[in-house]
Amino acid sequence: MPFVDIVIVHLLPALGFALAIFLLARIITERRSPASALAWMMAIAFVPYAGVPLYLMFGGRKMRHMVHEKPPLPDDSDPEHLALHFGDPAFGQISTLMPERFHGVYPLIGKNRVVLLTSGEQAFDEAMHLIGEARQRIDIATFILGRDDTGRAFVDALAKKAAQGVAVHLLLDAVGCVKISRRFLSPLTDAGGATAFFMPMMRLPMRGRANLRNHRKMLIVDGEKSMVGGMNYSAEYMGAYSPKGHWVDISFMVEGPVVSQMHDIFIQDWAFAAKETISRLPHSKGVSSERQAALQLIASGPDVRTDTLREAIIHALFRARRRVWIVTPYFVPDQTLTEALCMAAHRGVDVRLIIPRRSNHLVADLARETYLRQLDEAGATTMYFVPEMLHAKAVVVDEDLAIVGSANMDMRSLLLNYEVALCVYTPSVVKDLEGWMRWLLARCEKRRPVTSGRMGIFQGLGRLLSPLL
């Protein structure tokens, strides 16, 4: 028998069988739902030629080497910086959602200034202003960079600063920025700026999983000021005035010591994607503004041991006494999060969910209906934002807690993607966010349940795909 035939008939099936056994053992030991584990095990056992490669590309949730390599929280032994954590007597009265001993959870920190940005034009102007005033460093992470006027404006602005000697690092997700070419980025790279793509598809599965995307969105200038939230750098989200307008979205402009913590996350992500270590900048000082905010930064994703952000949201739901208002473009939660929302509604908490009447993802809209039906039955209220696409992500609990960041209220964001969020414990900032939510509610209509049997079938099929949405 020729050697090639021996390899095809005997060696490859044997290797495939051994790999399948290894993957089955791995699935059993992973922290995942029984339904998900059983589905992957059946696919590998009964259709191994499809199940094995699909699992290698899409099956994993946590990247153990990144979890173990992730540096510990920053050394805050500097007395001046330590006072930013514990020097405010009011901190003793704040019960944080997540203790800092959890992997990916940073200490509560005060003396920050927060400005809520509620329009694409406002966010674009603020981002351009931050870039323009940079003196040493500009570090940007984004899921999407548009091949449009907004994307070109950012590349040109960054190139201008790089030509002036400012160190520029632009981190793009390889899937979200699949249309972005090296040629499009050449003005920046020719000026001395650095770019990197997070988990390029051609390098998988050796360097990651195709379903684990970097969804974090941070613009950090000199380690002192930052923009963080849900907006990508594309015309749909932000830009100069346009007759078509932009999607409704929000971001925070943040100044103060929490920016140093954000910078640590960026440095770790850049080291993984670019295989280059960049230095930490000195700790950002506390601001002396009258309106100071106490903030807690939470990173979540495959590089964090637990699903920290999801756990923080569930903790917030159980601690709620009066209200839980949620704004999200996509609502496809897991069963535990759904039940926590329903239990809050059952005990009389004002649970309001604000979502777009139609999002930009039809399958996500179909998948959400079965979850919305559960909320209806529990007494929660779902409001459809009518005028246009709503892309914001925010949670307000009672009068003293808000969560704003990059994560949607779906399984992809809370269980798969790399995300970052700010927990806000300052009532004045929470009130600003509440005022914006009331502006949304004035433009909403209450959801009416869909009773069509045919639509119910499509909605059920959409729910089956919900873990990947």
Residues 255 and 283 in one domain: yes
Q: How far apart are CA 225 and CA 254, in angstroms?
A: 6
Least confident of 174-178, 216-220, 304-308, 455-459: 455-459
Residues 179 and 317 in one domain: no
Q: Are 123 and 117 in contact (CB under 8 A)?
A: yes
Q: Are 131 and 161 in contact (CB under 8 A)?
A: yes
| Owning domain of residue 26 | 3-59
Within a domain: 108: yes
Is the model's pLDDT at 4 over the cut of 50? no
Is the model's pLDDT at 437 over the cut of 90? yes
Q: How far apart are CA 106 and CA 147, in angstroms?
A: 35
Is the model's pLDDT at 18 over the cut of 70? no
pLDDT digits (tens, 9 = 90+) for 148-188: 999 999 999 999 999 999 999 999 999 999 999 999 999 99
Total domains present in the chain? 3
Q: Are 280 and 271 in contact (CB under 8 A)?
A: no
Residues 159 and 72 in one domain: yes
**Which pLDDT does position 291 carry in this prediction?**
74
pLDDT digits (tens, 9 = 90+) for 205-263: 444 556 678 999 999 999 999 999 999 999 999 998 777 789 999 999 999 999 999 99
Residues 324 and 402 in one domain: yes
Q: How far apart are CA 283 and CA 278, in angstroms?
A: 15
Q: Any idea of the CA torsion for 180, 181, 185, 186, to the nearest 10 degrees?
A: -170
Q: What is the mean pLDDT of the chain?
A: 83
Within a domain: 131: yes
Q: Give me the percent of the chain exceeding a pLDDT of 90.
A: 60
Is the model's pLDDT at 376 over the cut of 90? yes
Residues 282 and 338 in one domain: no
Within a domain: 438: yes
Identify the three-state secondary structure at position 427: helix
Least confident of 29-43, 109-123, 441-455: 29-43
* pTM for this entry: 0.84
Residues 388 and 336 in one domain: yes
Q: How far apart are CA 123 and CA 230, in angstroms?
A: 11
In which band, very low, low, confident or very high, does the pLDDT at 282 lie, cut at 50, 70 and 90? confident
